[in-house]
Structure 1
Amino acid sequence: MPSFDIVSEVDKHQLTNAVDQVNRTITTRYDFKGVDAEVERSEFVLTLRADSDMQISQMEDLVRQALIKYSIDPLVMDVGEPVQSGKQVKQEIKLKNGLDKELSKKIVKIIKDEKLKVQAAIQGDAVRVTGKKRDDLQQVIAMLRSKELEQPLQFENFRD
């Protein structure tokens, strides 16, 4: 029986490349000359450090552009508020990785509301969709791509 998995994952290698690109850009930009500013990465959390709020917002834009350049959808960004810490400003950006329970339930509900001949089941941080016909599964993929969800989706393990 044909099936596929719906997941939402961030490629760690591409994320590392994006963060390195932002740090290289910061060292060469004129408006960051003599400023102690950088982006630190810890798993799926980015910490922006700079001297002012304006520089933090510019760094956030640089991160967004770098993610797009490295094929990571900026919808994965969960941007926190800038916090003054001594003479520096810090801001955390958490990257959503994996489907949480609420979004998984929402995806299953969307699929069931379409009344296609497929079954959707939540399996950890993924949703498995199975059906008798490959065309039904492709309809589900097309329908989910057209929906505006709060996280980007990838479709993996398509099997006949």
Structure 2
Amino acid sequence: MPSFDIVSEFDSHEATNAVDQANREIQNRFDFRGVKAQYTLEGERVQVEAEVDFQLQQMIDVLRAKLIARGIDARCMDIQEPELSGVKARQAVDLKQGLEQEDAKRIVKLLKGAKLKVQPAIQGDKVRVSGKKRDDLQEAIALLKGEEGPDLPLQYTNFRD
């Protein structure tokens, strides 16, 4: 019976490269001359540090552009509230990986509500979709990629015939 998995993940090595590229760009930009600004990657969290709040927003835009250039979907970024102190502004950006339980339930509900001939099942941090025909599975992928699909960075892996 054909099946595939719906996952939400990214390549951590590419995330490291994107953070390194963003650090290099910030060091070379004219509007950041003489400013102590940097990115620090700690696991799946990127710490953004600058002197003022306005610079944080510019740095997050640079980070977003570098992630997209490296093939990482920008929707995996969970931007936290900035921490402003006297001399430093700091903001955390979490890179989300894996489907949370409520997101997986929403995907299952969407697939079942579309009356497709597929059977979705939640398995940990992924959703396995199986059906009798390959065409049914491709319809499910098209539905999730369409405008009705969830606003999540989804990948479709482990397609088996």
TM range (shorter): over 0.9
User: What is the CA–CA distance in structure 1 between the aligned matches of 2:81 and 2:41, rounded to whole Å?
Assistant: 17
Alpha-carbon distance in 1 for matches of 2:5, 2:66: 27
Which residue of the partner structure matches residue 111 of structure 1? Answer: 111
Within-5 A mapping of 1:117-132 = 117-132=117-132
Mapping of residues 38-117 of structure 1, within 5 Å: 38-117=38-117
Q: In the aligned structure 1, how far is the partner of 2:88 from the partner of 2:123?
A: 43
User: In structure 1, what is the equivalent of residue 137 of structure 2?
Assistant: 137
Distance in structure 1 (CA, Å) of the matches to 2:109 and 2:81: 33
Q: How far apart, in 1, do the equivalents of 2:50 and 2:133 lie?
A: 54
Asked whether the equivalents of residues 39 and 46 of structure 2 are also in contact (C-alpha less than 8 Å), the reply is yes
Q: Distance in 1 between matches of 2:54 and 2:117?
A: 52
| Identity rate, percent | 53
Cα-to-partner distance string for 1:26-45 (whole Å, 9 max, x where unaligned) = 11011111111101111111
Structure 1 residues 45-94: Cα deviation after superposition (integer angstroms, max 9, x where no partner): 11100011111111011011111111111111111111123411000011
Which runs of 5 or more structure 1 residues have no equivalent in the other structure?
A: none
Deviations 1:115-143 (A, max 9, x none): 11110000000000011100100100011
SS at match of 1:99: coil
Partner of 2:4: 4
- The Cα RMSD (Å) is 1.0
CA distance in 2, matches of 1:78, 1:150: 13
**What residue number does 1:155 align with?**
156
Question: What SS class does the counterpart of residue 121 from structure 2 fall into?
Answer: strand
Q: How far is the alpha carbon of 1:114 from its aligned partner?
A: 1.0
Q: TM-score, normalised by structure 1?
A: 0.97
CA contact (8 A) 2:77 2:96 kept: yes
Counterpart for residue 22 of structure 1? 22
The AA in structure 2 aligned to 1:81 is E
Total equivalences in the alignment: 160
Helix, strand or coil for the counterpart of 2:35?
coil
